[in-house]
Structures are given as C-alpha cells and as structure tokens.
C-alpha cells in the first residue's frame, strides 16, 4: 500500500539531493525532509503518540506542516489541520471533537487556542513553532518504520455542515494515494515546480499541495495568498504548476508590473470553486500564457474528482459553452446524477444531485455515524449535495447547491451557520442568509433580518456581533432589514423567494 511515508522514503533513496520543498528562501531536499520528519516522528513517540492518535496543527502555512505530515504517517498518527481563519470558539469545538494528543501552534495563532482547548482530555503537549519546536525535535533520525494499511486514517480535515456543526472528514491512506495519480494526470514529474498557496488545513493544501512532491518534484510553499509574492516566486523558482481560485487569478492580473514579470515557466494553472468566465479567461491567457484547467472536488473526495482540461477552454466556437462546465469524471471515478427524492438516475440533461463512487471517497465523518450514513449510500456512493446536470458527452454543469452553500473566494460558507450566530443577537427575531454576487470574491453572504418589536440594531452592529462568533470570511458583508421573511405553509424559510426579493438589488449595488 502506498502512503505518504513510503513515498517519501522512496524519493529519499532515489533522489536524495533534489529539492523537495522551498519556503521563504530556504530549500530542503528529499533527504532533508526524510531526516527531519523522522526526528519529529521520534519526538511524537516520546510524547506517547501511537497509531490512531491525533496530532493537530493550528498555523498558517509553513514548512513544518509537510514535515509533520510525513512524521505522523511514519508512526500511524492522524494529522488534524485546524483552520486559523475560524474564531476561537469554533476551534475549541473542533479540538474537543478530535481530542489530539499533541497540538502545534504558529506564533501568531496562539491566541486562538484558548484555555478550554488546552484542557482537552488526552492533550499532553502544546508546542509553538520556533525555538520551542526546534528544541522539541528528537536528535534521533531513525525512521520508526511504521507501514500503514489502506484503510488507516491519515488525515482528519474539518468542514462545516449545513447545521453549522463542524464535521471531521476521515481521509485514509488509500484516499490520499490518489494524489500521486492526480499529479501524473496533471503532467507533474521530477522536473515540475508547484507553487502552493492554498492553506494546509484545506484539502487543497494537503491534497493538491502534495501532488508534485509525491511525484518527485519541487514544491514552493507560500504562507498565504499574496499576488505580489506569487509573481516573484513564479519567476524565481521557474514554477510550472499552481492552483488559484478565480478571485486570486483576477488579483494577479491587477497586480502592477505583472506584464513585465517572467512567467514563461508556467505550464498549467488549475482553478476551482467556480467557473472562470470567458472575460477573465481571455485576460488571463493574454497575460499568463499558460494552460488552464478547472477542478471540481470536495474534502469528502480527498480532492479533485472531475476536471475541465485545457483543450476544453475554447473562447470561441461551439465548444466555448464548455467553459460553464466543471468537466468530466476521472476514469477511476463513477458519477451519477440522481433524483434526490426517488434516488433514481435522471435522464441526460435533467438536473439532479451528483453522486460519486471512487477509492477517493472518505471513510466517513469522525464520531458522526449518522451523518456518515446520510452521506454514503449503500454501495459506497457519496451524496455530494450539489445539483447539476450532465450532457451526452459526460460533461457536468453545476446548476445550484441543494445545501444553499455560498462559495466566497474559494471558501465554503453555509447559511445556517451564519444564521445561528446572528440569531443570538437580542434584537434579532429571525434572519435568512443568501449568497449575492461580489466583484472580488465571487459571492458574499447577505443577511435579511427581522428585528424584534421594540428593539433596534443597525447593519454595522449586527455584522460586528457575528464577527465575534465566526470567522470573518463567513460573516455578512451587508444586512437588509425586513418586516417578515417568506415562508411556506409549514413555516419553512423560502430561500428562493429571498433571492427573488433581494438579489437584483444586490447585483445593482455591486456593479
């Protein structure tokens, strides 16, 4: 069985002196990464970490994330990526669910790890990156030699559910082994250089972010997205591959001096979360002069399961309509479009829910057997909750989101989570949240609020209240006051009616 640890061992033997990782001016070879991860693995063992134990990281991107990814795999521990964009209360809930044995913190993220989190049962050590981490590493460079099984969980990545409660997605060695196969499909190899800007707590970081490295190539890691830094790194390291959401592509194109930058090494720019649009694509092709590929995937599928390849990015002619598609499934992925009511296949061209079956589908949700049973159907089919239709050639076109999910700058936002937070305000009687167009982020949340009789609150107060309880990117950027919210006879909030009432005005406001 192929695992993260086994692949690193292989590369350390076959290409020890070749660059594996660069971060903020420093480069580590495969031999370096193998030795450092063994030192960290030995240190984890000294903390009592055993196979199946959780090890959590709360930090912006840094080189040690890769080191610990391999270290955990070398002892059979499960790496838990904590989202530093969340509020402290949200992180506390995730830590209580995962119950890690060791937690690693970035110097700037210590304030997010509160006293309650530090008191989590089973937590033996909290280590801060820097001098504390350097001193913690073992001097023993012997590889512990753990060889995991296909069904062993390697990663635990949390994604918000429609109820607002975090769910830990269990990704196994088998799930993540497909990352190497994806890298081959994307043309990655020992000569490739991959620029990684996606956060490592995200499947885009631990999935796409390891693709070139697992293929024996060079990974250049960014602490966080910064268009100016990205342009410099592409030129300095001769980057061949990268992944950005369309909003970041747009920011790149608006960066002063990009026309003079040396971007000639770029071969493939992958994007996801939303279609790129013909106007933005035309500009990007003119400036970046590389191939573009759209990716569709989710945490529950360990990353990308469909893609729209470069040859389907025609700006003119009959195939230009494919730009609205997220592509076709990979050969190792089965896809069905299902009527969610009857759970039978719909006809070609009819809208239904995407169901997927593959070795990439998660093992399930951590500590949530009922949620797992709701998501994974008999036969191993994953219900994605995404509405789409498929044409006769197998291309999938997203239609809407059954879960009413909002995608803002590549981040998933569930309205119910935002509504729950704002409903706690004493002046709020009821609230409905919808996604509205945003010129930079694609979408952004809008809250439609009904105030309690005799109470007052303005937009700024309600937004600030929500920001104290949720990550800022989840919070509404606008609030509309209403006398009532549209509901059906049973009292269910009608989101489609909210969109009819308020979407046109928001489009005009953002124009």
> What letter does residue 310 receive in the DSSP assignment?
G
Is-contact 469 405, C-beta < 8 A?
Answer: no
Strands 54-58 and 102-105: parallel
**pLDDT of the residue at 444:** 93
Output b/e per residue, 64-83; b: 16+ Cβ within 10 A.
bbbbbbbbbbbbbbbbbbbb
Per-residue pLDDT reduced to its tens digit, 50-59: 999 999 999 9
- pLDDT category at 488 given cuts 50, 70, 90 is low
Whether pLDDT at 463 is above 90: yes
What is the 3-state secondary structure of 165-191? CEEEEEEEHHHHHHHHHHHHHCCCCCC
CA-based nearest residue to 210, from 59, 76, 81, 38: 81
Cβ contacts of residue 82 below 8 Å, gap of 6+? 56, 57, 58, 91, 94, 95, 158, 201
Cα torsion 483, 488, 490, 493: sign: negative
**pLDDT of the residue at 508:** 41
Query: Mapping DSSP to helix (H, G, I), strand (E, B) and coil, where does residue 291 land?
Result: strand
> What's the order of all strands across the beta sheet hosting 303-308?
26-29, 19-23, 218-221, 193-196, 241-243, 268-272, 291-298, 303-308, 328-329
Spatial separation of the C-alpha atoms in residues 57 and 64, rounded to whole Å: 10
Spatial separation of the C-alpha atoms in residues 85 and 471, rounded to whole Å: 6
Q: Give the bridge partners for 365, in sequence order.
A: 169
Per-residue pLDDT reduced to its tens digit, 171-220: 999 999 999 999 999 999 999 999 999 999 989 899 999 999 999 999 99
**pLDDT of the residue at 161:** 46
- pLDDT category at 421 given cuts 50, 70, 90 is confident
Q: Give the bridge partners for 438, in sequence order.
A: 442
Whether pLDDT at 511 is above 60: no
Q: Which of 240-244, 280-284, 407-411, 484-488 has the lowest mean pLDDT?
A: 484-488
**pLDDT of the residue at 401:** 61
- Averaged pLDDT, 334-347: 94
Element (H, E) at 14: helix 4-14
Is-contact 203 297, C-beta < 8 A?
Answer: yes
Cα-to-chain-centroid distance, residue 25: 25
CA-based nearest residue to 159, from 333, 366, 359: 366
- pLDDT category at 84 given cuts 50, 70, 90 is very high
Given CATH 3.20.20.70, say whether it is the number of domain 4-174. no
**pLDDT of the residue at 186:** 97
- pLDDT category at 300 given cuts 50, 70, 90 is very high
Query: Mapping DSSP to helix (H, G, I), strand (E, B) and coil, where does residue 311 land?
Result: helix
As a whole-number percent, the residues of the chain with pLDDT over 90 amount to 74
Cβ contacts of residue 62 below 8 Å, gap of 6+? 23, 106, 129, 221, 223
**pLDDT of the residue at 504:** 63
- Averaged pLDDT, 458-482: 94
Whether pLDDT at 165 is above 90: no
In the chain, where the domains are located: 4-174, 406-510
More confident position, 423 or 298: 298
CA-based nearest residue to 477, from 429, 430, 509, 500: 509
Pick one of 3.40.50.720, 3.30.300.30, 3.30.310.160, 3.30.530.20 as the CATH number of 406-510: 3.30.300.30
Residues in the chain: 511
User: What does the mean pLDDT of the chain come to?
Assistant: 91
| CA atoms lying within 13 Å on the CB side of residue 307 | 21
- pLDDT category at 246 given cuts 50, 70, 90 is confident
Is-contact 191 210, C-beta < 8 A?
Answer: no
Whether pLDDT at 163 is above 50: no
């Amino acid at each position: 069985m192929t695992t993260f640890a086994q692949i690193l061992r292989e590369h350390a033997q076959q290409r020890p002196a070749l660059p594996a990782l660069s971060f903020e001016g420093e480069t580590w070879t495969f031999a370096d990464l193998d030795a450092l991860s063994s030192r960290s693995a030995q240190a984890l063992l000294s903390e009592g970490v055993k196979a199946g134990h959780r090890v959590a990281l709360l930090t912006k991107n840094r080189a040690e994330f890769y080191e610990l990814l391999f270290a955990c795999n070398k002892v059979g521990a499960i790496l838990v990526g904590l989202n530093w964009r969340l509020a402290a209360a949200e992180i506390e809930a995730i830590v209580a669910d995962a119950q890690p044995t060791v937690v690693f913190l970035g110097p700037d993220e210590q304030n997010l790890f509160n006293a309650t989190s530090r008191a989590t049962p089973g937590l033996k050590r909290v280590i801060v990156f820097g001098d504390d981490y350097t001193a913690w590493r073992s001097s023993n460079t012997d590889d512990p030699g753990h060889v995991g099984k296909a069904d062993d969980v390697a990663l635990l990545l949390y994604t918000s559910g429609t109820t607002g409660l975090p769910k830990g997605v269990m990704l196994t060695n088998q799930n993540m082994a497909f990352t190497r196969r994806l890298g081959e499909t994307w043309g990655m190899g020992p000569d490739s250089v991959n620029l990684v800007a996606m956060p490592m707590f995200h499947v885009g970081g631990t999935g796409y972010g390891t693709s070139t490295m697992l293929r024996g190539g060079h990974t250049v890691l960014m602490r966080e997205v910064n268009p100016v830094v990205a342009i410099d790194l592409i030129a300095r390291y001769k980057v061949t591959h990268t992944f950005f959401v369309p909003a970041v592509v747009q920011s790149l194109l608006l960066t002063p001096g990009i026309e003079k930058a040396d971007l000639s090494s770029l071969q493939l720019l992958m994007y996801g979360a939303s279609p790129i649009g013909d106007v933005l694509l035309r500009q990007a092709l003119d400036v970046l002069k590389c191939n573009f590929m759209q990716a569709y995937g989710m945490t529950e599928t360990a990353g990308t399961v469909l893609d729209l390849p470069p040859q389907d990015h025609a700006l003119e002619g009959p195939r230009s309509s494919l730009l609205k598609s997220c592509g076709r499934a990979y050969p190792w992925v089965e896809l069905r479009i299902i009527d969610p009511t009857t759970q039978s296949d719909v006809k070609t061209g009819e809208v239904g829910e995407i169901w997927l079956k593959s070795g990439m589908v998660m093992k399930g949700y951590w500590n949530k057997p009922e949620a797992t049973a709701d998501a994974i159907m008999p036969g191993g089919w994953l219900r994605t909750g995404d509405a789409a239709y498929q044409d006769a050639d197998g291309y999938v076109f997203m239609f809407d989101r059954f879960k009413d999910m909002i995608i803002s700058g590549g981040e998933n936002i569930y309205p119910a989570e935002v509504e729950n937070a704002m409903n706690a305000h004493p002046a709020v009687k009821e609230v409905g949240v919808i996604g509205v167009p945003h010129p930079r982020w694609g979408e952004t949340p809008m809250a439609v609020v009904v105030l309690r009789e005799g109470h007052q609150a303005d937009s700024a107060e309600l937004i600030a209240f929500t920001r104290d309880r949720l990550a800022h990117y989840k919070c509404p950027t606008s609030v509309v006051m209403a006398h009532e919210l549209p509901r059906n006879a049973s009292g269910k909030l009608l989101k489609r009616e909210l969109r009819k009432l308020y979407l046109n005005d928001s489009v005009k406001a953002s124009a």
